[in-house]
Amino acid sequence: MSKTIMKENIEKAQVEIEAKESAVKNGRMRQDFHFMPQTGWLNDPNGLVYYKGQYHYFYQFYPYAGFWGSVHWGHAVSSDMLRWKHLPPALAPSEAYDDHYLGGCFSGSAIEYNEKLYLMYTGVTNNGDGLEQCQCIAWSEDGINFEKYEGNPVIAAPEGVPKDFFRDPKVWCHRDTFYMVCGTKKEDKGQALLYKSKDMIHWEYFNVLAESRGEWGYMWECPDFYPLGDKYVLMFSPMGAQERKCVYLVGDFDYRTGKFFYNISGEIDWGLDYYAPQSFLAPDGRRIITGWANGWEWMPHWKDWGPMYREGWSGFFALPREVILLEDNTLSFKPIHELEQLRSDPGTENNLLIGEGKYQVKNTGCSCEIKMLINLEKTTSRKVKLELRENNTRKAVVLFDFQKAEMCFDRTCADGWSTGIARSEINLKNKQYLDIHIFIDRSSIEVFSNNYQNNMTCNVFSDETQTNNYIVPENGELYIEKLETWNIENVLKVMK
């Protein structure tokens, strides 16, 4: 009976998607080159995996409206992470452990095992004593049609862990054993719990992989754990850690004890709209992450859930990024090289000396890519402002303050919808150059700088008249050794 219920719920969701897709796809806020749902609501990426020759994106999904609701798993496949084919939802609420209207099939991950694709996800329900979260299994022979394990849930919240704070399993395999890390809290301090299994079905608690001492918030959402070079990386999105939204820790892991010892910490993205990134391995060995270009704590600032909601959809992913381990064991997050296929109408200017006033960046518009290399030794200005998506009355401003060694993204005058200012420190000590790389889409701006270590993703819901981009030095001259631009508007809108 339960198989029939999930199938019926997926078919019902697919009917809703197909009925609304044509109206939604022409929405003014729809992105040109970011992944987004056909219709309805999207949040966390789930189950990112390369399986049988294709990349699979699963994602938190409510197909019936552009706001959060009973959670399904949306599903799409691609051969290049640019052109996506949407498939029917992979999971829908259908069982006693995942069928509550404020619950459903919460976040999780995917892994190939015995030629099948296994999904591990958090089921959320309410049996009259508040929300309860547990870990569940589903699998597929073809990577499209999934069946839930009849013995679910496979892991319930352990003693001492709040039943409504036990979620987001990320699974991997080491030698002949499966391991899973999930997020929780204890005494209002975030934790990542570690489990292990020989068959993906029978799990035993192993250890506390890592935990907050008070500096990383009261709950760790969407933890991810993976090897990189000779180190291990733990990522998570801490709740209650103020501006820290996507933390990474780098250190060493002992499979005998199940304990992670870290000595490096950093932020994946300092912007206002980046949350719950998940990693996966590309077939060439690259570790790639994708994150939700939004976040819970600042979404209420939008009026009526923002302009996307009014178009019958909400949410998209930030651009995929390759995770790179640097010599000092810090991380950089570089947009994947596949994005270069989107470039058209290239423009290059060399050895630009820009004084007081506004310098208009040529060959840009609503969707474009901009790269610049600033020579700090030949620059006398104390600050430089990048005025992006400008039309005289509205603009987003990215400020680089060379004296304070600070980067600031201010979108308070950008669109009439968004609020908030994001800040981060940039390491300029003993550096001759500062690199800046920007991707501008219809509803977002992603800024990468300082060897892709200081990154900011912010949603900016501009209109069609906001097509100008300017460089504005302050108190001196700015020396740009190389300025490159690419117009993306003339390329096929590959993700629609």
User: Which positions are annotated as active-site residues?
Assistant: 44
Q: Which two tokens mark 486?
A: 């690419």
Q: In what order do the strands lie in the sheet with 433-441?
A: 344-354, 478-487, 368-375, 433-441, 444-449, 454-459
Q: Which two tokens mark 401?
A: 């303050």
Distance CA 383, CA 44 (A): 36
Give, as one character, the DSSP assignment of residue 338.
G
* Residue 17, H or E segment: helix 2-24
Q: Which two tokens mark 93?
A: 């609420």
Contact 123, 133 (CB under 8 A): yes
Distance CA 155, CA 158 (A): 8
β partners of residue 292: 275, 317
Contact 404, 478 (CB under 8 A): no
3-state DSSP assignment of residue 392: coil
Cα-to-chain-centroid distance, residue 317? 6
3-state DSSP assignment of residue 185: strand
DSSP letters spanning 83-101: SEEEEEEEE---STTT--T
- 3: exposed, middle or buried (Cβ count in 10 Å: 0-12, 13-18, 19+): exposed
Q: Which two tokens mark 431?
A: 């550096």
Q: Which two tokens mark 200?
A: 């993906």
Pairing type for strands 177-186 and 166-174 reads: antiparallel
Q: Which two tokens mark 27?
A: 């929405």
Cα-to-chain-centroid distance, residue 147? 27
Distance CA 177, CA 174 (A): 5
DSSP letters spanning 202-231: SEEEEEEEEE-SSTT-SEEEEEEEEEETTE
* Residue 118, H or E segment: strand 116-126
Residue type at 69? G
